[in-house]
Structure 1
């Protein structure tokens, strides 16, 4: 154990004292915050630009239906010929020209939009809906149907959701749960990929420098492998904590000093929240408060450590088996595939049916359970499923560490040979 502690300390200090580690630790939050500020600035800049659209309505029935807004201003050019209107739009560099032709009763007018570049989809959708609503109302009136009576007769139905014990919830609760679970699962995947590769590169570096031959003479290979995994993980956690603290502080300072409105980046989500009634907002807050935060936090730590340890052992074994990073490509697909599969299952299967067969099975498979189970927990998971999932994960970690230690023990001293899967299987028998 004493050697293991020394290796952990050595790996940790070697990582945190590395110049590139220090530079990226402090530079990454700056780049991240800079990107957020730039995007917010561009969004604010884009929202300040009001597009000017000219309308050439030959029928004279639609021009008054288009109302100005902060994004679009409409100008009536119906009194001039279409070709002359095109010339005016080009000369004054308007956003475009909307041309509506003459049309007979019970027909649809020919509508054209002339512009230098293709207009935005949302803008065209707004134009089409405005004209369609006008035509619909006119046809209803022609048939002697009172449009105001129809609008007054429209009923709005809201389905109340509650479980059998009487706890009420809302339609937004699924998205709230998916947000918390998805954020936890995605964060775990990124941590595994980033710092698992760091473990692999560390092993390859010491192997190619022949330093490992000296170290292995006084330390057991399994202790050396575990020390690298634990030391690198502690360095990664240190870096991540610094990122969170620095990023939060810098984002707050920049938004206060530069006066950039970060809320502009929220877009449709912010508008959806603003349109919610007081009861819906209150229900949304209750849904968030009702989440099993303590269980989610504990499970995140457990699956975070377990998942990282599982994949780091695989990364260490791959690093010991090859001489350079180029040779690792043949082994990376079996490592990345379960992680990507877990993410896709989480976002497409869990949100649709968190207690279905697919979601349940993949939350039990150790290679995908750290991600899928974290996404399922906000929806409520029986304790026995958590126990089975965690037990399988622990057993798999023990098996993978044993296999990785076997490969590590032989591969760490092998040079000049590109092993295949058959060769790795032979190493397990040594």
Structure 2
């Protein structure tokens, strides 16, 4: 145990005293916060920029349907010819011109609907134009069929389903969105941490092997202890760096936004638009659902799977580092590591979100190579304790198994030089 603690201490101090580590620890939050501030600033500029769009409506039905908003203003050029309207819009450097062709009696739609502009309009602009024209055409069709449109509008009824399980615990659609966000963020964060610090472990092993320092170290320490100490020490350095990132990033984000008067919440995203347009009761429900989340259990399971997933993959990274002579030679072994991580993310976003208790979600949340990511995404939706227990037991068993296999590869690989190992040769090392 004394040797193990010395190795952990050595690896930890070697990482945190490294100049690159120190620079990136303090520079990364500055870069990240700077990007957020830049995006927020550009978004504020974009939100204050008003688009002017001309309308050339040959039917006389649609020009009055387009209403001015905070970011768009419509000008009617229907009285002029199309060529004249195009020329005036172009000379005035307006955003674009909507042209709606003639519509004969009995036609379901105008002969042509076009948008002229210097630039391709954004998705939201096109969708708004299409919806405005489509809604008016629908109303015209109903009127032609003798249907009272006002009665249809009065008859429209919105239904909100109250969701609860058989034990009486209530939930809502908003709660599912919140759980999806927290679960997805936790899973993606874990994947990025594994890739970044797993590579750090691998590079550390390659560096020691290249410098022949490892030959001196293994003369007094068992390979298993050296592997475990290296993974643990690097993980502690990673946790230290990650903690500093969170604290420093939060302080910088608050301080810079207050000093410059830029609100990061003004960033224009589909989610922010949904929140702005949502009724007040739904916003209140959103706050209630966020406060109802079991943060203590979420944090506890995040730490468990965070540490478990990191140890599992870092052991594999260390074994790869011991088996090769340079970082270039690692490429042939990286795909089998990245594949289950990417698979876990895809299963999480495409299966867990749709059916968190389905067969696919359950299997991949127990399978050890994907369970740290998939189970983290499932836990906010509520997972039976026996499934979590089975997942943790299988993960721990796999960690010890992978550590044992990696140690055998590590023991032979760290003393092998000048040859690229194949999968067949690495398999033979397990028998030594």
- TM-score bucket of the superposed structures, by smaller chain: over 0.9
Report if the CA contact (8 A) 1:106-1:139 is conserved: no
* 1:178-212 CA-partner distances (Å, limit 9, x unpaired): 11111111111111110011000000001001111
Q: Which runs of 5+ in 2 are unaligned?
A: none
- Report how far residue 141 of structure 1 moved: 3.1
- Report how far residue 279 of structure 1 moved: 4.0
Partner residue of 2:299 out of 257, 274, 297 = 297
Distance (Å, rounded) in 2 between the aligned partners of 1:416 and 1:90: 68
1:47-62 correspondence runs (5 A)? 47-62=47-62
Residue 332 of structure 1 is matched in structure 2 by 334
Distance (Å, rounded) in 2 between the aligned partners of 1:80 and 1:347: 52
Residue 255 of structure 2 is matched in structure 1 by 253
RMSD of aligned Cα (Å): 1.6
Report if the CA contact (8 A) 1:170-1:284 is conserved: no
Residue 400 of structure 1 is matched in structure 2 by 402
Distance (Å, rounded) in 1 between the aligned partners of 2:209 and 2:146: 87
Give 3-state SS (helix, strand or coil) of 1:363's partner: helix
Partner residue of 1:148 out of 131, 147, 150 = 150
Residue 63 of structure 1 is matched in structure 2 by 63
Give 3-state SS (helix, strand or coil) of 1:172's partner: helix
Report if the CA contact (8 A) 2:43-2:268 is conserved: no
- Structure-2 change in CA distance of 1:100 and 1:277 (3 Å): closer
- Structure-2 change in CA distance of 1:360 and 1:143 (3 Å): closer
Distance (Å, rounded) in 2 between the aligned partners of 1:355 and 1:135: 43
- Structure-2 change in CA distance of 1:59 and 1:394 (3 Å): closer
Residue 203 of structure 1 is matched in structure 2 by 205
- Structure-2 change in CA distance of 1:84 and 1:375 (3 Å): same
- Report how far residue 281 of structure 1 moved: 3.7
- In the superposition, the TM-score normalised over structure 2's length comes to 0.95
- Structure-2 change in CA distance of 1:349 and 1:59 (3 Å): closer
Report if the CA contact (8 A) 1:311-1:335 is conserved: yes
Partner residue of 1:413 out of 397, 412, 415 = 415
Instruction: State which drifts further: 260-269 or 6-15.
Output: 260-269
Partner residue of 2:183 out of 174, 181, 184 = 181
Distance (Å, rounded) in 2 between the aligned partners of 1:284 and 1:89: 43
* 1:360-396 CA-partner distances (Å, limit 9, x unpaired): 1111111111111111111111111111111111111
Q: Which runs of 4+ in 1 moved over 4 A?
A: none
- Report how far residue 409 of structure 1 moved: 0.8
Q: How many residues align?
A: 430
Partner residue of 1:379 out of 378, 381, 386 = 381
Distance (Å, rounded) in 1 between the aligned partners of 2:396 and 2:354: 28
1:243-282 correspondence runs (5 A)? 243-265=245-267, 267-282=269-284
Residue 8 of structure 1 is matched in structure 2 by 8
Instruction: State which drifts further: 174-183 or 232-241.
Output: 174-183
Instruction: State which drifts further: 267-276 or 375-384.
Output: 267-276
Residue 126 of structure 2 is matched in structure 1 by 124
- Structure-2 change in CA distance of 1:101 and 1:273 (3 Å): closer
Instruction: State which drifts further: 92-101 or 416-425.
Output: 92-101
Residue 105 of structure 2 is matched in structure 1 by 105
Instruction: State which drifts further: 113-122 or 68-77.
Output: 113-122
Distance (Å, rounded) in 1 between the aligned partners of 2:398 and 2:27: 37
Give 3-state SS (helix, strand or coil) of 1:97's partner: strand
- Structure-2 change in CA distance of 1:102 and 1:383 (3 Å): closer
- Report how far residue 398 of structure 1 moved: 1.0
Report if the CA contact (8 A) 1:170-1:280 is conserved: no
Residue 159 of structure 1 is matched in structure 2 by 161
Partner residue of 1:422 out of 412, 424, 429 = 424
Question: 1:170 aligned to 2:166?
Answer: no
Q: Which runs of 5+ in 1 are unaligned?
A: none
Residue 41 of structure 1 is matched in structure 2 by 41
Distance (Å, rounded) in 1 between the aligned partners of 2:288 and 2:168: 14
Give 3-state SS (helix, strand or coil) of 2:328's partner: helix
- Structure-2 change in CA distance of 1:281 and 1:94 (3 Å): closer
- Structure-2 change in CA distance of 1:277 and 1:129 (3 Å): closer
Report if the CA contact (8 A) 1:33-1:250 is conserved: yes
Report if the CA contact (8 A) 1:306-1:393 is conserved: yes
- Report how far residue 266 of structure 1 moved: 5.0
- Structure-2 change in CA distance of 1:139 and 1:415 (3 Å): closer
Distance (Å, rounded) in 2 between the aligned partners of 1:40 and 1:82: 39
- Structure-2 change in CA distance of 1:276 and 1:35 (3 Å): same
Distance (Å, rounded) in 2 between the aligned partners of 1:96 and 1:289: 45
Residue 306 of structure 1 is matched in structure 2 by 308
- Structure-2 change in CA distance of 1:386 and 1:136 (3 Å): closer
